Amino acid sequence: MNHSIDVCLSPNLIDLYDLKGKIVVVVDILRATSVMTTALAHGAKEIIPVEHLDEAKGYLTKKGYLCAAERGGQQIEGFPLDNSPFSYMDESIVGASIVITTTNGTLAIKRSEEADEILIGSFLNLSSIADYIKMQNKDVLVHCAGWKGKTNMEDTLFAGALVEKLKLSHQLGCDTPHMALTYWEAVKADLSETIANSSHAKRLNGLNITEDISFCMRIDEYQVVPKMKGDKLV
Ligand code: 3SL
């Protein structure tokens, strides 16, 4: 085993990690990276993740872009698309260039910029991400988007699930991959029930967003490996 896998539990901790030469898998299970995975699986041409709302607003008047914005779980007024995976499954998505800004997910992508390669992970494409990584000769860091700097259950569980798939090919870097793996192994049989107790699932439930949560827990629904190429995800 020449390569390692490590886990960063929050974008606020990312400066502790050296990203150079590494594959960074950004994960925001609820819901940004699940949405991006869904959109690309349904034929979107590209996704431009932007950190700031103003930047996203700049695309609203440009021709040829479908714009999405979310803060605090809610769609921002004036933007045609929200942050629900179900909004990215119809014909309008095929061939589309989508611009998206979200509370934590797009921020985590921006803070991963020094990586050799940035991948977008979710339960929806878990095995595809693992299989792709196994074919590369690189160290891996899972970058959990969390919630406003805090750690969350669902992103940590994804990290554990990916560690489980890579533990024979990658040595576990620090303590966090061990912690994430132990957590994943303990609850994976009751994933939906476990996530139902997470703070963000409760927050989304409070906004009457319920179906998204169970959809985002589906494992291997899609076979896409979204990668950043310049400022776009393809
Ligand atoms: O934080 C994010 O990036 C979003 O995915 C949050 S939400 O699920 O849209 O509320």
This model of the complex carries an ipTM of 0.97
231: pLDDT strictly greater than 90: yes
Mean pLDDT of the chain: 97
Residue 103 CB–ligand 1 contact under 6 Å: yes
Phi/psi-derived region of residue 217, left when phi > 0, alpha when psi is between -120 and 50, beta in every other case:
alpha
Q: How far is the CA of 229 from the centre of ligand 1 (A)?
A: 23
Q: How is the beta sheet containing 170-172 ordered, strand by strand?
A: 117-121, 23-27, 140-144, 3-8, 170-172
Residue 85 CB–ligand 1 contact under 6 Å: no
pLDDT band, residue 1 (cuts 50/70/90): confident
Question: Domain extents for the chain?
Answer: 3-228
Q: How far is the CA of 43 from the centre of ligand 1 (A)?
A: 22
Q: What is the dihedral of CA 47, 89, 212, 131, to 10 degrees?
A: -60
pLDDT band, residue 221 (cuts 50/70/90): very high
Q: What is the mean pLDDT of residues 83-108?
A: 98
Q: How far is the CA of 13 from the centre of ligand 1 (A)?
A: 19
Q: Report the residue among 10, 26, 50, 70 best suited for mutation to probe ligand 1: largest number of ligand atoms under 8 A from its CB.
A: 70
- pLDDT per residue as tens digits for the range 166-195: 999 999 989 999 999 999 999 999 999 999
Question: Looking up tokens 């988007």, which residue turns up?
Answer: 145
Please answer whether residues 20 and 154 qualify as being in contact, where contact means their C-beta atoms are separated by less than 8 angstroms: no
Percent of the chain with pLDDT over 90: 98
Domain covering 3-228 in this structure, CATH number = 3.90.1560.10
